[in-house]
Structure 1
């Protein structure tokens, strides 16, 4: 799409490439953004869990379950909902490309579902209240999502319809992952809209937790509601290929359904939250169980 020079000066440029090389290795910025988000989110979650009376190591240890399962779930969600990208005679990618996570394509709800399953397994094994840990982790989780969204900028993906607004995103032709300098057009930077929305949700959740004392999974459900609210209207701005149901993108339907389900949970769930002493008791019980197992295994 031809553009006037005045418009280009007011646009957001895309990076010339999505990776840098260290010897024979290609380091993808998308992966670095995901890692940076996971680190920042886990630190926030650990501090909040500790402030509630828990052991911050619970958060870090649960990530050993949550991260691998979350990545698998996120990729599966993407491949299942956008299967036409990888399978079929008209698919733009080869089936083997479905395994190339570093090139982008992670469905957040698959990641959240399978990641939560991993945390649930950890909590069950260590006698911890899953709802309390989920509430502590909610602001960190949406923070991680926001930081991870920056990776879409490096990959030139998750942008919206064509536009000439001053903050439009320039998309370039790329050959073997490197820009040719030829501008295809300017588009809504929907990844940026979602990133800013995620950061706003972090602040809203922290205020809600302080002023309204959201517990028993209600803060986590509020995270689901707020994220879905933003994702719903952002999906309506996108025009890239995607699976549709009754004229709407699958992610639009998922966002709407999950918003309603989370709203019902917030309204129906128990008010207040577990006390610091109650959560500390859970952690003490966990520590005592571990010490008992260690002493029994060391006893001849």
Structure 2
């Protein structure tokens, strides 16, 4: 809704980038705090975090390029991440790969590290979706019960009880009442963060918090995807590729919970 925040010497500073960076920084400090509570080597955690962020950025860009090939015409388009265009699921997969490399290189416990990362991912994603709201990306389908097309947030008596209209200059189509999918997911992620933080102190085994995160976010994203207007459904199955990945996360999380409950964490780590 506010694609640009301030202008410095004629240079527009993108609010989306500011919010994403803020999410990463806050996520880092949360990871560091939980790591200290677990007695982990903070230097190893720092290095692993950097690898996760680096691989996450690469994965997010690759996944977006695969999903939107028509936007890329030369090699520079693929590396011009400053122009926007990233996929959360690609970033999540890339980030997990980077974290696994760091965990192996620096000798961190796998499932304790995963449990530490899960609340931070949810919290950082909350800020990321606020950034999406600012830029207008990841917008929803047209809201059928709108009574106004004035720019802003409008409340209604129909689910989700408010809709959003973006101005000219945003990624979303201007002056079109849309489902507020960015804000819906942002506050969904905030709720997931609070649940994970509550469960963290009471987790029955290492890896439970991470598994729960995969289940909760996969479920959230699967249903919100029906309201999103960005990704078209795949032929035959009628679901978007994000919904397919969400189903994989949900099933994988349940399998992971069952496995970790029956197999000691260290034994499963050795197998990986």
TM range (shorter): 0.7 to 0.9
Q: Using the alignment, how far apart are the partners of 1:274 and 1:263 within structure 2?
A: 16
Q: Does 1:269 align with 2:260?
A: yes
Shift of 1:233: 0.7
The structure-2 alpha-carbon separation of the partners of 1:184 and 1:86, relative to structure 1 and needing over 3 Å to count, comes to: farther
Question: 2:192 is matched with which residue?
Answer: 201
Higher RCO (CA-CA < 8 Å; seq separation 6+): 1
Q: Structure 1 length as normaliser, TM-score?
A: 0.75
Question: 2:167 is matched with which residue?
Answer: 172
1:124-170 superposed Cα distances (whole Å, 9 cap, x missing partner): 22222122111111101110011111111221111212222612111
Question: 2:106 is matched with which residue?
Answer: 126
| Contact 1:142 1:202 (C-alpha < 8 Å) held by counterparts | yes
| Contact 1:70 1:112 (C-alpha < 8 Å) held by counterparts | yes
Question: 1:34 is matched with which residue?
Answer: 20
Q: Using the alignment, how far apart are the partners of 1:96 and 1:247 within structure 2?
A: 33
Q: Which of structure 1's runs of 4+ aligned residues deviate more than 6 A?
A: 271-275
| Contact 1:119 1:130 (C-alpha < 8 Å) held by counterparts | no
The DSSP-based 3-state class of the residue aligned with 1:173 is coil
Rg bigger for which structure? 1
Question: 1:188 is matched with which residue?
Answer: 179
Question: 2:232 is matched with which residue?
Answer: 242
Q: Does 1:105 align with 2:85?
A: yes
The structure-2 alpha-carbon separation of the partners of 1:19 and 1:173, relative to structure 1 and needing over 3 Å to count, comes to: same
The DSSP-based 3-state class of the residue aligned with 1:21 is strand
Q: Structure 2 length as normaliser, TM-score?
A: 0.82
The structure-2 alpha-carbon separation of the partners of 1:124 and 1:86, relative to structure 1 and needing over 3 Å to count, comes to: same
Gap regions ≥5 residues in structure 2: 147-153, 156-161, 267-272
Q: Using the alignment, how far apart are the partners of 1:97 and 1:259 within structure 2?
A: 33
| Contact 1:161 1:188 (C-alpha < 8 Å) held by counterparts | yes
When the two structures are aligned, how many residues end up with a matched partner? Answer: 250
Shift of 1:47: 0.8
Question: 2:221 is matched with which residue?
Answer: 231
| Contact 1:82 1:242 (C-alpha < 8 Å) held by counterparts | no
